[in-house]
Amino acid sequence: MKRILMVAGALLLIVGGMLPANAKADTTIDEKLGVPIVVMGANLTDAEKESVKKSLKVEENAEVEEITVDGNDLVKYIKGGNSQARMYSSAKITRQDEGKGLVINIVTPDNITQVTNEMYATAMMTAGIVDAVVEVAAPKPVTGHSALVGIYKAYEVSGETLDTERTDVANDELNLATKFAKDSGIDQDKVAELLTEIKKEIADNKPATKEEVEKIVNDQLKKLNIELSEDDRQLLIDLMDRIRNLDIDFGKLSEQLSDMATTIKEKFGEIDPGFWDKVKQFFADLFDSIKSWFK
C-alpha cells in the first residue's frame, strides 16, 4: 500500500508537469493601453468587494486602477436613471489593440441572473465600445445591469468619450433583451441572436424609414420562429429605429460575436489536442505496471 501511495503522489506531480503553463499571472504593465480598470459597485460591503476581487483575479495583475460606480453614474449614462439605485455587479476591463474585438466573460454566472455574455456584447457595441476583455462578477445574485454602467465609466476614465445617446440606447437594448428572456420566456441566446440578426440587416440594407425597419424586425422574428406580443414587437421596432438613426456600423457585430470563442482561446490559451491522449496512455502504462506487481 505504501508503494502505491508513493506512486500516486509521483503521478500527481508528473501530470501537473504535463499541463500547459498558460494560466499565469499577468505581471506586465501595458504602457500603451494602460492597466486594467476594476469597477466596483458602490453598494458592496468590504467583504463583498474582496469576494469580487477574488472572482476577477485582480491579484494576478501587476497593477489595476480601481473605481466605484454608483447611482450618479447611472443618471449620467442612462436617461431617467435612478440616482438611488443600488449597484452590486462589477467588472474588470482590459483594453486591447484595435481589431482584437470584444471578449466578454461572466466569471460568476450563478450570480448574474439576467444578462448573458452576448447581451453585454451587443449592448457594448451599440454604445461604441470595442476591443476589450471584459470580466463581470457579483458576490450575490443580481440582474447584472449595473456592470454595464461601470464599463461606460471605465472607458471614460481611460480617456475615451462616449456618446450618451448611444449609451442610453444600449441600456434600453439590454433592458429589452432581459425583458424578452424573463417575461416572454424566450431563450437568452435566442434573444441575443435576434438582436444581432436585426442589426446585421440594418447595417446591410440601410433602411431609410421606420416602416423598412419594421419589415426587417418582422422578417427576423419569422425567420427565428419567435413570437412576441404586439406591445413587445412595437418596443423592438422602436428600439431598432433609434439604432438606425444613430448611424452605427453594425456590419462587423456578428463577426465579432462569432469570433468571441476564438479570441478567448487566443488570450487564455488552449490545451494541445494531443495532450489528453498522452495522459490516457500514461495511465494505461502505469496501471499495467501496477497490475504486474500483484502477479
Query: Which stretches of the chain are DSSP H helices?
Result: 2-18, 46-55, 71-77, 117-127, 145-157, 164-183, 188-205, 210-223, 230-246, 253-258, 260-268, 275-293
Find, among 137, 197, 192, 127, the residue nearest to 162 by Cα: 127
Instruction: State the average pLDDT over residues 234-259.
Output: 75
- Give me the residue spans of the domains in the chain: 2-268
Q: How confident is the model at residue 100 (pLDDT cuts 50, 70, 90)?
A: confident
Name residue, grid cell 470580466: 135
What does each C-alpha distance from 16 to 9, 19, 115, 277, 283 come to in angstroms? 11, 5, 36, 15, 14
Instruction: State the average pLDDT over residues 81-88.
Output: 88
Per-residue pLDDT reduced to its tens digit, 130-181 = 888 999 999 999 988 888 889 889 888 888 888 888 888 888 998 899 899 8
3-state secondary structure 108-127: CCCCECCCCHHHHHHHHHHH
Higher pLDDT, 9 or 66: 66
What are the beta bridge partners of residue 39? 67, 91
pTM of the complete model = 0.68
* pLDDT of 287 higher than 60: no
Per-residue pLDDT reduced to its tens digit, 26-64 = 567 777 888 999 999 999 999 999 999 999 999 998 899
What cell does 8 get? 500516486
Residue 272 CA from chain centroid, whole number: 25
How far is residue 133's CA from residue 101's CA, in Å, rounded to a whole number?
8
How far is residue 14's CA from residue 11's CA, in Å, rounded to a whole number?
5
pLDDT of residue 279: 43
Q: How confident is the model at residue 252 (pLDDT cuts 50, 70, 90)?
A: low
Q: Residue 151, class by beta-carbon neighbours within 10 Å (0-12 exposed, 13-18 middle, 19+ buried)? A: buried
Instruction: State the average pLDDT over residues 288-294.
Output: 45
Q: Work out the mean pLDDT of the chain and round it to a whole number.
A: 79
Name residue, grid cell 454595464: 148
pLDDT of residue 110: 95
Provide the 10 A C-beta neighbour count for residue 126.
26
Instruction: State the average pLDDT over residues 224-241.
Output: 94
